[in-house]
A = this chain, B = another copy of it.
């Protein structure tokens, strides 16, 4: 195991909490030697990291559904890695795993982390490593349980999803189609809109960068909206609230338009539409459904296998690009699930 001792772990740590859009100087790069894993621990080499809008929230101080990342801590990130040393009988060298790796090249998972399922083996037969960060990972699970449990779609209903070509959006839209709904996406730019319609089979897509969203909703949802899966917040949420049907369900998954605000979040001015329409707005946090991930993964893997579901990942190479790559999420430059490739194998 002298070989481990020669490895250097490059890491990205939070240097300062950003105001507005994160910049390179919010981060610092460190290097640590890689050691032998402790008793019952494993050492994992990072292959792919998941970059998610939620990361912006973790950079802020204050109470949320999980604690913020501390200053000087390695930035939190889920990812896929390969076991390169194991003192735990449940893991063998070469196993692919998914877990809270953080933005770094190597991660030792302690016995305690393993025990509380902070890392688990993935089955490469069910999907590629990047699909395990997308449809079969947190975004897919978020879309699945948000749509199915909170949204409770019925065949024939109209489902609108914002961030339609993103990680969560692509899952939600395709799943809603599979469940017999009419699906209208909202995305930024013609390429994304064309893709969700032509490749994923959405019934329509509104290009919020070049079209009037209110007009688009009128055209594509003539009878109103039964379910809105909201990833963006802001004006778009208000436009959809203005077109919901009676007993509509609005799933609050995120509000990416608001995450880099330097002023207060923009509240939905049309929220009284909930009253008029006896409608519901409800938040979802995916971790609550952890005990049902296996069932959802099995279902989604089957869709991937039989081709009823597709996935698209936007893979950027190199841990050193992390600061700029993360920002792509907030400018809408990513196309598909944003993944940082740290190593190929």
Which A residues are closer than 8 A to B by beta carbons? 63-65, 233, 238, 252-255, 258, 264-285, 288
Report whether B272 and A265 are in contact in the complex, using a CB–CB cutoff of 8 Å. yes
Report whether B279 and A267 are in contact in the complex, using a CB–CB cutoff of 8 Å. no
Report whether A282 and B284 are in contact in the complex, using a CB–CB cutoff of 8 Å. no
25 pairs, CB–CB < 8 Å, chain A vs chain B: A64-B276, A65-B276, A233-B272, A238-B267, A252-B272, A252-B275, A254-B275, A258-B272, A264-B269, A265-B272, A266-B269, A267-B267, A267-B268, A267-B269, A267-B271, A268-B271, A275-B283, A275-B285, A276-B283, A276-B285, A278-B282, A278-B284, A278-B285, A279-B282, A280-B282
Instruction: List the B residue with the shortest CB-CB distance to A273.
Output: B283
Report whether A283 and B277 are in contact in the complex, using a CB–CB cutoff of 8 Å. yes
Report whether B265 and A274 are in contact in the complex, using a CB–CB cutoff of 8 Å. no
Instruction: List the B residue with the shortest CB-CB distance to A230.
Output: B275
Closest chain B CB from A258 CB (angstroms): 8
- Copy total for this chain: 2
Instruction: List the B residue with the shortest CB-CB distance to A63.
Output: B276
> Which residues of B sit under 8 angstroms from A285, Cβ to Cβ?
275-276, 278
Which of the listed residues A254, A269, A276, A281 has the most CB atoms from chain B within 10 Å of its own CB? A281
Which of the listed residues A63, A238, A258, A275 has the most CB atoms from chain B within 10 Å of its own CB? A275
Report whether B271 and A275 are in contact in the complex, using a CB–CB cutoff of 8 Å. no
Closest chain B CB from A52 CB (angstroms): 14
Task: Report the Cα distance A226→B324, complex, angstroms.
Answer: 41
Task: Report the Cα distance A298→B21, complex, angstroms.
Answer: 58
| 5 nearest A-B pairs in the assembled complex, by CB-CB distance | A267-B267, A275-B283, A274-B283, A267-B269, A280-B282
Q: A265-B270, A265-B272, A271-B268 are in contact. Are A281 and B280 (CB under 8 A)?
A: yes
